[in-house]
Structure 1
């Protein structure tokens, strides 16, 4: 069995402003740094063998806070990035709805069928993240590992673990610095924790 502790990165200024980030490399804001430190403290007593992260700065910063408690390097993998939102990156929901209402509506009702203009689809995200996750799991049998990633990416992985279609992905919350735990046993995944944020309940 491999136990994977998935962590969503802390808050950024674009999260706060409601902007679509995707592959844009935005750092944590002050609140996000506090969230990263608190999730790191929460995981300080876990026995962790490796820490993986998306190569985007907001995920790396969160992973580095966790790594400080364990004396481990952060292994970055671009495959764990958020979806590429293409020409929507840096725009708000309202701005996107003004010009691409039909596409955005379909993406939220049937994300398996469509992706943002000049971006990528969630099907592509699923292919890249599940392949890379399988490689990590194979390297860490009978170990606990941490993977710091993004809201959309984490929803995709939860759908895969639960054996449900991507069209259910928006039914799951993924708040800033949320913890999710999935145990991978042979060809079976057991989800034991989803969107746990009690470590940041007081900020």
Structure 2
């Protein structure tokens, strides 16, 4: 099964570097242009996408709707594709968290996939639910090619596990807004992984 893993477009909180998690904020004007550019690229590349699964969080769902319309595919809401829950840190600027709680910020974003923010969940837990969904989807053998719309931080954990078999090096697997990754799942194993593809965004104005 081929998987195209997409991150949602830029939001106001992305722009202002505010931690989102299960909270939401509106898509920026640039985010709307990012969405159009991604849809155009996936149409041009003619991936034979049969179904799109999206996180129910609005910023991801809106991307899913645009992709479904552009690619003429069914769209299914999938709760397991949500971002990591950042708990009490949601709504706080990343810079403030780093200044006031540097050890927590470092563990959360750079060092420890098993770190749990207050009233949140670990990256390992969040990644596990997506990995479980992917493997169930692959075992069902219903589709040959699917598109998954999810979120930035949890995608880093998923990509690390797919590429290396462990989550430890998650910071290296950056997934910019409206970028996508492509990989194959064969008998539960990942092959041909390319991540953070964003060349379609290079000509967009800020």
TM-score for the superposition, normalised by structure 2: 0.91
Contact 1:41/1:66 (CA < 8 Å) preserved in 2?
no
Structure 2 Cα separation of the partners of residues 29 and 88 of structure 1: 22
The residue number in structure 1 matching 2:86 is 85
The residue number in structure 2 matching 1:8 is 7
Give the alignment of 1:70-109 within 5 angstroms.
70-109=71-110
Q: Which moved more, 1:29-38 or 1:15-24?
A: 29-38
The residue number in structure 2 matching 1:177 is 178
CA deviation digits over 1:69-116, x for unaligned, max 9? Answer: 232221111110111111111111221123322222223343223121
Contact 2:158/2:167 (CA < 8 Å) preserved in 1?
no
Question: SS of the counterpart of 1:154?
Answer: helix
Structure 1 Cα separation of the partners of residues 141 and 39 of structure 2: 21
Structure 2 Cα separation of the partners of residues 191 and 27 of structure 1: 34
Contact 1:54/1:81 (CA < 8 Å) preserved in 2?
yes
The residue number in structure 2 matching 1:195 is 196
The residue number in structure 2 matching 1:49 is 50
Contact 2:53/2:64 (CA < 8 Å) preserved in 1?
yes
Contact 2:10/2:178 (CA < 8 Å) preserved in 1?
yes
1:62 paired with 2:63, answer: yes
Structure 2 gaps of 5+ residues are none
Structure 2 Cα separation of the partners of residues 15 and 135 of structure 1: 31
Question: SS of the counterpart of 1:69?
Answer: helix
Structure 1 gaps of 5+ residues are none
Question: Shift of the alpha carbon at 1:150?
Answer: 0.6
The size of the alignment, in residue pairs, is 202
Structure 2 Cα separation of the partners of residues 70 and 184 of structure 1: 22
The residue number in structure 2 matching 1:133 is 134
Structure 2 Cα separation of the partners of residues 85 and 142 of structure 1: 32
The residue number in structure 2 matching 1:36 is 35
Contact 1:178/1:197 (CA < 8 Å) preserved in 2?
yes
Contact 1:49/1:143 (CA < 8 Å) preserved in 2?
yes
The RMSD of aligned alpha carbons is 1.6
Q: Which moved more, 1:153-162 or 1:99-108?
A: 99-108
Structure 2 Cα separation of the partners of residues 72 and 158 of structure 1: 24
Question: SS of the counterpart of 1:189?
Answer: strand
Contact 2:163/2:193 (CA < 8 Å) preserved in 1?
no
The residue number in structure 2 matching 1:148 is 149
Q: Which moved more, 1:45-54 or 1:96-105?
A: 96-105
Contact 2:50/2:145 (CA < 8 Å) preserved in 1?
yes
